[in-house]
Structure 1
Amino acid sequence: MRYYGQWMRDEAEKRIGHLYPKIKITPEMVAARPDLSPYADRELTVIAWLWARTVKSPNPAFYMWMFRWHRPSCYQLKQARRYT
């Protein structure tokens, strides 16, 4: 079973690994987020992204620009509702 699981992981890495970049955990990141200290100076693979909706700017001076639009509070609200 372990052999097959490792083979599946290796195949997935070959086929779609380029879609999941590696990020090096720097001392600056650890200073800002102490929970990253066990991972200092290591490269970790990104496995999730926060997707945001993009909308055109309502400002006429920036009509050609697209901006990310998301409200973190809406995620917190959904989380709170789930437990009440």
Structure 2
Amino acid sequence: MGEADRSPDRGVGGPQAPEIVFLADVSAGLVEITQMPLYLKGRYLKFDRSLPQTRWPCRRCQGRGCADCGGTGKT
């Protein structure tokens, strides 16, 4: 069964929890809003091998702290 043959209400990823839920109690006049965490997925391209993926220590002092980095040890 191909992707086009699936019913539109099922979707590709299967059943999922709602991202936001509104619960209204009309008799009491209350409204409750519950938000679920939102996960964002992304990618990036690393164009230069000299840039580390972790913290960037100062190249002059190697992270010890100097006048160039303001004593932080980071660039």
Q: TM-score, normalised by structure 1?
A: 0.23
Of structures 1 and 2, the one with the larger relative CO (CA 8 A, separation 6+) is: 1
Based on CA coordinates, which of the two structures has the bigger radius of gyration? 2
Q: TM-score, normalised by structure 2?
A: 0.24
Kindly indicate which of the two structures has a greater share of residues assigned to helix: 1
